[in-house]
Amino acid sequence: MCKRRLCAAIGIVLILAVVGLAQLQVNSYDRHYQTYPAVAMNDAGDFVVVWRSHVADGRGGGVFARRFDHDGMALTDEFKVNLSDVDVDTWSPAVAMAPGGDFVVVWVADREGDCDVVARQFDAAGAPLTEEIPVAGAAGVFESDPRIAMNSTGAFVIVWTNRYGDSYTGRNYAAARLYGADGSPVSDPFEISDRPQQRWPDVAIDETGRFVVAWSRMGDTYNRPYGEYIMIRQFDADGIPLGPEMSLTGDLNSRWYGPAVATGGDGGFIVTWAIGPFPCNICAQPFNRDAEPMTSPYVVNTCMEGHQGRPCIASNGDSDFLIAWDCHDPSGAGCRVGGQFCTGAGDPSGYECSVTIETAGRNWYPDAAMASDGRYVVVWIAEIEGSGYDVFAQTGSR
């Protein structure tokens, strides 16, 4: 159960309650569908946005990226991340950036249903440093849902879902692999837990290389009660578990969706997720560096009307966190992106704000990144009448 804080009962939603700078369209190819946006930012406030573009590469879909400076000015045109291959589709890109601006993109390469997670490194100017790097590529395993986290040394960890068998009777396991700053693997792929029915992993890493994985684990798939748990597990810099996996939720009569996690400066972290059944709210819970809860789970969103979903979280690397999510109008008229700042102790900072200005149509699938000085960026896709979806970004500062 997630407790409602006093601020959640006030019922106030502010438009850009922080210092908003600019809302901008990220993609220049503006036909068909631009989806799966993700963003990463360095300490200078420069950022890179990645997304999947349908038909922009002249075929079914490719991963594209574009770099921006701290003022939201484009530093490059959009450019293709994946290597051209007419037989390969792409899905679910994610990105992480080093302090100097180098970045790593990870995505799913779909070869007619044979899906593998791959990655590629780029320098600060957007020039590729590597070819496509297979992250796992085990035969007969369907790989999906990649996420990536990087610390200030440039070391990074990639997590994803392995599915063994078909989509109806197969078993899913969250997996991870560690990499050094030069992009070389420092571990083999390994699974986070030996329990089946895991999906939607996310990962956060601290300055020492310790990392925490959050994921959703289904209950009994074939018998009641049917529901999901939100799970976490900590690992040291070598990928050795620091303790057993832990469940943050225990009521299988509820539904728990889409966990996201970010670390603070002291190694503590915050996990956020959506709680259902429909309509959902957004919950969060802070932990210290030893994965001990600092508070009970609490409701993040102020607006209690409509459906809240797909939370993401960003950190300034210290004690400020930004949570963003979908806010669906209860009338079905549209969807906006909401945001809420909070501290590493779990205290909300101010009220919920609306990241998106436009309220007509659907504005959803947010991702967020934050610099150490409080500058931030939130990206999402917006429904454009007659042309599909475009990727937008909102920059600002605390």
Query: Domain limits of the chain?
Result: 3-397
Question: 91 CB contacts (<8 Å, ≥6 apart)?
Answer: 36, 52, 61, 107, 108, 110, 115, 144
Per-residue model confidence (pLDDT) at position 7: 36
At 283, which amino acid appears? C
Number of H helices, E strands in the chain: 1, 30
Is 68 exposed, middle or buried (CB count within 10 Å of its CB: 0-12, 13-18, 19+)?
buried
The CA R_g of the chain, rounded to the nearest whole Å, is 19
Q: Does the structural domain 3-397 have CATH classification 2.120.10.10?
A: yes
CA-to-CA separations, 269 to 234, 266, 294, 314, 344, in angstroms, rounded: 11, 9, 10, 11, 7
Provide the token pair at 222: 């074939």
Reading the chain (398 residues) residue by residue, the pLDDT tens digits are: 676 543 333 333 444 444 455 689 999 987 778 999 999 999 999 999 999 998 655 566 899 999 999 999 999 999 999 997 777 889 999 999 999 999 999 999 998 778 999 999 999 999 999 999 999 988 889 999 999 999 999 999 999 999 998 766 778 999 999 999 999 999 999 999 988 888 899 999 999 999 999 999 876 544 444 457 899 999 999 999 999 999 998 765 566 678 999 999 889 999 999 987 666 899 999 999 999 999 999 999 887 777 888 999 999 999 999 999 998 877 667 788 999 999 988 888 877 888 876 656 789 999 999 999 999 999 999 988 767 899 999 999 98
> Hey, how many other C-beta atoms are within 10 angstroms of the C-beta on 142?
20
Per-residue model confidence (pLDDT) at position 312: 97
